[in-house]
């Protein structure tokens, strides 16, 4: 069997249906548009995500007898209030703590050097002076690179101020009209598609509620985990509580890897300020309890209707889509992987096409 025969058989099996060809072309165009125009259309995609979040609130208000325009206006005002509160209260607090942390990093580095020296003195057979010097050198290089990245980020942020202002203005406007004219926008999109779209309708109906529920559930999970972490860190008197709580909250975006990555800054700050004593152990135990409750209670509660995906598939989806689209790729990695799985199972195929070509 030649390669040409195999390729012809594969095409006959998976693309013999006209609708399958149309769906494939639509997917290619959508992915190409997102990859090529993603940065340009970032406010639109952000507004689309927010509209997904607010749609359930609009529907709830409509069921309570409120006209749609009033419901949309109220939910948009709530969203704008949250944005302004974050910009005026949360962001300055986090920025102040981040600046203090950057200033304190050299002291942490010096303390780490002393701690490594003491460890080498206590366990000379386990840790050699050469290893200590290698670790200190590697940490110094990482510290230098971190400082350079922090300076470049702060300088770049000055240039991005206009972009932030555009976001603050455009996103609420787009959210308002997406919610207000939802039916018209959906009808316009459907008019661009071919009349025969049973396969696309089946996949969309399966994914619509699931993506919306995933987005809402993930935002709720970030808020709950970040909020509980902040209260816990404040109770223990851990410095940079707001900054660390945000890191822990957003770590839930990356399954399996995020929790491990967030542990490092929490342990580093706690170890530097409390030492390796009882308070340090209490902080780490409390942090471990938060992670355990998130993984075993909160996630099953929020995502009980999610399609079951193997951990390897989830990690691959995070790496692949995160590499393409950055933050949004990581955020939507699981629903996108679920979409691929749905397409795989729903895709029309001719069972005997390959054998008939032999």
Name, in order, each residue with C-beta under 8 angstroms of 108's C-beta and a sequence gap of 6 or more: 268, 272
CA atoms within 13 A on the CB side of 194: 14
Q: Confidence band (pLDDT; 50, 70, 90) for 354?
A: very low
Name, in order, each residue with C-beta under 8 angstroms of 23's C-beta and a sequence gap of 6 or more: 199, 200, 203
Q: Is the pTM of this model over 0.85?
A: no
d(CA 115, CA 93): 31
Compare 77 and 189 and report the one with higher pLDDT. Answer: 77
Q: Confidence band (pLDDT; 50, 70, 90) for 42?
A: confident
The string of pLDDT tens digits covering residues 243-281 is 889 889 888 877 667 777 888 888 888 888 887 778 889
pLDDT of residue 296: 78
- Encoding tokens for residue 256? 């399996």
CA distances from 199 to 14, 32, 124, 206, 340 (A): 13, 21, 67, 11, 14
Averaged pLDDT for residues 269-294 = 86
Q: Rg of the Cα trace of the chain?
A: 25
Compare 157 and 180 and report the one with higher pLDDT. Answer: 180
Q: Confidence band (pLDDT; 50, 70, 90) for 31?
A: confident
The string of pLDDT tens digits covering residues 3-28 is 667 667 666 666 666 677 777 787 78
């Amino acid at each position: 069997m030649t390669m040409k025969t195999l390729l012809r058989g594969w095409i006959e099996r998976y693309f013999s249906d006209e609708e399958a060809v149309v769906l494939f072309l639509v997917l290619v165009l959508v992915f190409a548009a997102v990859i090529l125009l993603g940065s340009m259309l970032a406010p639109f995609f952000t507004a689309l995500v927010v509209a997904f979040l607010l749609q359930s609130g609009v529907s709830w208000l409509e069921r309570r007898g409120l006209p749609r325009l009033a419901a949309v206006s109220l939910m948009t005002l709530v969203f704008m209030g949250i944005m302004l509160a974050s910009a005026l209260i949360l962001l300055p607090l986090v920025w102040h703590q981040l600046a203090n942390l950057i200033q304190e990093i050299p002291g942490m580095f010096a303390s780490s050097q002393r701690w490594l020296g003491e460890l080498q003195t206590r366990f000379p057979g386990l840790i050699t002076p050469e290893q200590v010097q290698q670790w200190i050198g590697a940490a110094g290089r990482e510290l230098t690179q971190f400082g350079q990245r922090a300076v470049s980020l702060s300088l770049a942020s000055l240039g991005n101020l206009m972009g932030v202002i555009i976001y603050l203005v455009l996103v609420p406007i787009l959210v308002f009209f997406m919610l207000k004219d939802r039916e018209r926008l959906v009808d316009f999109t459907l008019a661009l598609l071919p009349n025969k779209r049973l396969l696309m309708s089946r996949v969309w109906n399966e994914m619509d509620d699931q993506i919306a529920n995933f987005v809402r559930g993930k935002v709720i999970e970030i808020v709950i985990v970040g909020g509980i972490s902040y209260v816990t860190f404040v109770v223990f008197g851990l410095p940079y509580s707001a900054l660390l709580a945000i890191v822990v909250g957003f770590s839930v975006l990356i399954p399996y890897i995020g929790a491990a990555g967030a542990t490092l800054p929490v342990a580093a700050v706690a170890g530097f300020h409390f030492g390796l004593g009882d308070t340090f152990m209490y902080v780490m135990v409390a942090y471990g309890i938060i992670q355990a409750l998130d993984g075993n209670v909160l996630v099953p509660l929020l995502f009980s209707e999610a399609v079951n995906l193997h951990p390897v598939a989830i990690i691959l989806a995070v790496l692949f889509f995160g590499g393409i689209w950055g933050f949004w790729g990581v955020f939507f990695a699981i629903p996108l992987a679920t979409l691929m799985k749905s397409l795989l199972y729903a895709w029309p195929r001719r069972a005997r096409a390959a054998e008939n070509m032999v």
